[in-house]
Amino acid sequence: MKKVKMFLAATLAVSMLVPMAACASFDTSSGTASGTTGTAAASTAGGNVTMSTNAEFEPFEYKANGKIVGIDVDIANKVAAKLGKTLQVRDVAFDSLPAELTAGKCDFVAAGMTITDDRKKNMDFSDSYFDAAQAIIVAKGSTIKGKADLKGKKIGVQQGTTGDDYCTKNYKDTPPKRYNKGADAISDLISKRIDAVVIDDYSAQKFVAKNANQVQKLSDALTVEHYAIAVKKGNTQLVSTINGVLKNMKSNGELDKIINKYKSALESD
């Protein structure tokens, strides 16, 4: 989601402590944060192209060794190369991503974002590059065995996601508890403050791998979804460029190679 050098050595440390609603910009080559709070507008006319994301969604975008990395970042770097520009990444709360496009703070959003009819009202999407689903995570020994058992339960979701949408629409009697980070929902599940977490399948796999003695992923898939890159409404030229990059990456096997690289890392942890 993401060439600017660190403004002050202390800036990076401070940026890790501020709320997710604040923003840091990252250069994917150096991995350093600019220390901005999201006031600079994106510009494809200059030397950078700007991507906004929420770096809490491994393996698509996450922080490793001071850099934002992942499947989406690798794809975005290919788009930047096609445009002849350097990729800059802005890390914001997931539910702030649509506003990033509207305000012109980024050129595109790559954040494991699912194409939905509601989102298409406010942004345009590239072709899909990944098929996904919403998964259910529960505590070990839970009486919840599938989606039918979620009725009346306390469900945690990441705010603004399709998991949030699904639970809001399907379990109206018990609105979901919303979190800025999926990790916070998992923490509450382990602490028995909620009964289940609904989150994207790949992210669910990672959380379960890290907490295998305490939580488990159920076999039920709640949705079938398609990830795509979002751009500001009406920016057909950028959509066309991104689609061209994706088409080439699919045909030459590069997209599968990138996905498998991060998938292997996910499964080996």
pLDDT digits (tens, 9 = 90+) for 130-150: 999 999 999 999 999 999 999
Q: Are 154 and 195 in contact (CB under 8 A)?
A: yes
Give pLDDT tens digits for 146-203: 999 999 999 999 999 999 999 999 999 999 999 999 999 999 999 999 999 999 998 8
Question: Using CA atoms, how far apart are residues 75 and 69, in angstroms rounded to an integer?
Answer: 10
133-224 matches 48-132+225-266 in CATH topology: yes
Residue 15 is predicted with a pLDDT of 39
| 9: pLDDT strictly greater than 60 | no
Half-sphere exposure of 94 (CA within 13 A, CB side): 22
Question: Using CA atoms, how far apart are residues 107 and 14, in angstroms rounded to an integer?
Answer: 26
127: Cβ–Cβ under 8 A, 6 or more apart, which residues? 228, 243, 246, 247
Q: Are 161 and 199 in contact (CB under 8 A)?
A: yes
Mean pLDDT is lowest, of 29-33, 39-43, 204-208, for 29-33
Residue 95 is predicted with a pLDDT of 94
pTM: 0.78
Question: Using CA atoms, how far apart are residues 31 and 258, in angstroms rounded to an integer?
Answer: 19
- CATH superfamily ID and name for 133-224: Periplasmic binding protein-like II (3.40.190.10)
Topology of 48-132+225-266 in CATH? Answer: D-Maltodextrin-Binding Protein; domain 2 (3.40.190)
Q: Are 222 and 171 in contact (CB under 8 A)?
A: no
**What is the domain partition of the chain in residue ranges?**
48-132+225-266, 133-224
